[in-house]
Amino acid sequence: METHYPFTLPPLPYAYDALLPELDERTMQFHHDKHFAAYVDNLNKLLADCPEAQSWPLERLIQDWPRLPEDIRQGVRNNAGGVYNHDLYFNTLHPTPVTSPGPALQGAIDRDFGGLQELKAAMRTAALGQFGSGWAWLVSDKNGRLSVHKTPNQDSPLPLLPLLGCDVWEHAYYLPYQNRRGDYFEAWWRLIDWPQITKRYEERTASQTRYPNP
């Protein structure tokens, strides 16, 4: 993904039907080609007339949107978040997932949650407890300590680094699961690309640079 404006839509990293039976082809087409694409297009339109922000990395747009001109502030907040969150979402699912984290991440999960099933329970509570549209997150602070959060709309947990995000907007699951968000969560959990999450965690703990954490 580009680090700054103009942003382009990255291709889906697997076939549209690759996540069956958990997520169907039509859901993936709409989610990636329509919803994700709209966040990219809208963010570019908002930044087109704001040259001072065109060099800002996506992570800065997400965190420093209150410094932008008032007329684009809320739009950048929503759409930069939408771009970042969906890029992470599609890249942390896998058609043939490895179902356990690597040793470094597993150790942190055991330390901070008591085990993988306890993490799953915390993520499920966050995903099902988010009223309306939003996300449930597994995040790491700069020291590698893990926690679970939920955010409304396309808000981001940055500067806490998102390792894994469950999109609980209805557009992510309504076609196959209708109102059954819990069934979608269980399906989503089976698709998690744990080696990718582990790599992201190890990069985080190896380098504490990009943005200072609280």
Binding site for Fe ion (CB under 5 A): 167, 169, 172
CA distance 157 to 155: 7
67 or 180: whose CB is closer to Fe ion? Answer: 180
DSSP string, 112-159: HHSSHHHHHHHHHHHHHHS-SSEEEEEEE-TTS-EEEEEEETT---TT
Q: CA 65 to CA 76: how far, in whole Å?
A: 7
Output the smallest distance, CB 212 to Fe ion, in A.
29
Residue nearest to Fe ion (CB): 167
Q: Which is nearer to Fe ion, 167 or 193 (CB)?
A: 167
- Which residue lies nearer to Fe ion by CB, 139 or 168? 168
Q: How far is the CB of 58 from Fe ion (least distance, A)?
A: 16
Q: Which is nearer to Fe ion, 87 or 167 (CB)?
A: 167
Rounded to a whole number of angstroms, the minimum distance from the CB of residue 97 to Fe ion is: 19
Of the pair 169, 194, the CB lying nearest Fe ion is at 169
Strand runs labelled E in the chain = 134-140, 146-152, 161-167
Least distance (Å) from Fe ion to the CB of residue 49? 26
Going from the C-alpha of 75 to that of each of 6, 39, 79, 155, 179, the distances in angstroms are 16, 10, 6, 12, 28
Q: What's the min distance (Å) between Cβ of 65 and Fe ion?
A: 19
Query: In the bound complex, what is the minimum distance in angstroms from residue 188's beta carbon to Fe ion?
Result: 12
- Residue number with CB closer to Fe ion (34 or 67): 34
164/138 Cα distance (integer angstroms): 5
Q: Are 9 and 37 in contact (CB under 8 A)?
A: yes
- Considering only CA atoms, give the Rg of the chain: 17
